[in-house]
């Protein structure tokens, strides 16, 4: 596979539009995620949301704690006042008002501080900017980035290299478990990641932002948003041949922000080719995604090990 850099605009071709438009996930149906230094924050009960004005609203307690701030509550004129402090930064907000006192100055954010689910929700930008953090809105993923984009990396020590012998039951096919080199020696091993660890950088290669399952015209597709175009994947099924998938060219979407979404069919006629041999009796229509334990990224980088994500769709 030749690495593709996202430097030119690309869109969905006419065939891709007819095949995928009906199955695409609408922005309104996707949850809002908040990432601090490229790690997703966990909101155990009250979740962030985007209001009618487009402002991302978050429960102040959880964000304040994540940013290392201290929070206090008081009453003034019969109204609830929330104050967050971090170092030399102070933000004071009143429930029901659109303005706030940020480091001694009054600013209007056009969105009211509200009470919802027994939590105080405030505009995320108000808190983050008031506490000296960078904030970016990712409209494609519906993510709010706070701070730096310090991506996890599969080279990090937390991701342990597991020997190929641990995955022998998945190696009825052998080609996908060999390095992209002249002598095609086996990979040193596999590193396993979880969907909740995304986004993640694969060694010195691409960044995988998210993975989801979409349906269009009755067919299922794996949609992977990443920093490259066309990285193949394969489904690892115990005691069976791997199910190799390439991204559909007519469905590729370049988001023009350094990321792109590739779509991979769950079922494919390519499954009749097993270890380079054509099996005319193999019924490729019987494959079910739930039988795959892992989805591996068939990328040139990193060169010495494979990366596979635990199948989040089982």
Q: In this predicted structure, what is the pLDDT of residue 301? A: 79
pLDDT at residue 299 tops 90: no
pLDDT at residue 310 tops 60: yes
Least confident range from 39-43, 51-55, 228-232: namely 51-55
pLDDT at residue 283 tops 60: yes
Q: Which band of pLDDT confidence, cut at 50, 70 and 90, is reported for residue 30?
A: confident
DSSP string, 107-166: EE-SS--EEETTEEEEEHHHHHHHTT--EEEETTTTEEEES----EETTSTTSPPBPGGG
Domains in the chain, ordered, with CATH?
A: 14-24+151-310 (no CATH), 39-146 (3.30.457.10)
pLDDT at residue 20 tops 80: no
- H or E element: which one contains 180? none
Instruction: Tell me what the mean pLDDT of segment 175-186 comes to.
Output: 88
Q: In this predicted structure, what is the pLDDT of residue 300? A: 79
pTM of the complete model: 0.85
Tens digit of each residue's pLDDT (9 = 90 or more) over 61-81: 999 999 999 999 999 888 999
Instruction: Tell me what the mean pLDDT of segment 94-105 comes to.
Output: 94
pLDDT at residue 208 tops 80: yes
Q: In this predicted structure, what is the pLDDT of residue 29? A: 56
Q: In this predicted structure, what is the pLDDT of residue 296? A: 98
Q: In this predicted structure, what is the pLDDT of residue 238? A: 97
Of 311, 284, 131, 303, nearest to 213 by C-alpha is: 311
pLDDT at residue 251 tops 70: yes
pLDDT at residue 219 tops 50: yes
Q: Are 267 and 252 in contact (CB under 8 A)?
A: no
Instruction: Tell me what the mean pLDDT of segment 85-111 comes to.
Output: 94
DSSP string, 63-117: HHHHTT-EEEEEEETTEEEEEEEETTEEEEEETT-SEEEETTEEEE-SS--EEET
Q: What is the mean pLDDT of the chain?
A: 88
State the Cα–Cα distance between residues 311 and 195, nearest whole angstrom: 8
State the Cα–Cα distance between residues 229 and 243, nearest whole angstrom: 19
Q: Which band of pLDDT confidence, cut at 50, 70 and 90, is reported for residue 157?
A: very high
């Amino acid at each position: 596979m030749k690495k593709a850099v996202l430097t030119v605009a690309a869109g969905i071709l006419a065939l891709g539009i007819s095949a995928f438009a009906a199955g695409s996930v609408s922005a309104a149906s996707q949850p809002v995620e908040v990432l601090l230094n490229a790690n997703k924050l966990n909101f155990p009960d009250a979740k962030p949301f985007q209001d009618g004005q487009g402002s991302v609203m978050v429960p102040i307690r959880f964000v304040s704690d994540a940013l290392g701030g201290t929070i206090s509550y008081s009453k003034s004129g019969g109204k609830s006042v929330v104050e967050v402090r971090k170092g030399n930064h102070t933000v004071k907000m009143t429930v029901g008002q659109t303005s706030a006192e940020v480091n001694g100055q009054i600013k209007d954010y056009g969105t009211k501080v509200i009470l919802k689910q027994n939590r105080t929700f405030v505009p995320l930008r108000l808190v983050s900017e008031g506490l000296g953090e960078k904030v970016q809105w990712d409209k494609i993923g519906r993510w709010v980035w706070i701070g730096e984009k310090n991506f996890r990396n599969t080279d990090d020590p937390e991701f342990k290299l597991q020997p190929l012998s641990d995955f022998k039951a998945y190696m009825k096919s052998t080609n996908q478990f060999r390095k992209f080199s002249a002598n095609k020696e086996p990979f040193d091993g596999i590193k396993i990641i979880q969907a909740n660890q995304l986004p993640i950088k694969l060694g010195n290669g691409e960044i995988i932002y998210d993975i989801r399952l979409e349906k269009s015209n009755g067919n299922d597709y794996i949609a992977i948003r990443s920093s490259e175009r066309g990285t193949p994947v394969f489904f690892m099924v115990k005691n069976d041949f791997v199910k190799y998938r390439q991204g559909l060219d007519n469905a590729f979407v370049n988001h023009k922000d350094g990321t792109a979404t590739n779509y991979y069919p769950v079922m494919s006629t390519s499954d009749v080719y097993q270890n380079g041999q054509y099996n005319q009796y193999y019924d490729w229509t019987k494959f079910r995604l739930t039988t795959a334990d892992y989805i591996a990224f068939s990328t040139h980088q990193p060169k010495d090990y494979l990366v596979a994500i635990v199948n989040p769709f089982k």
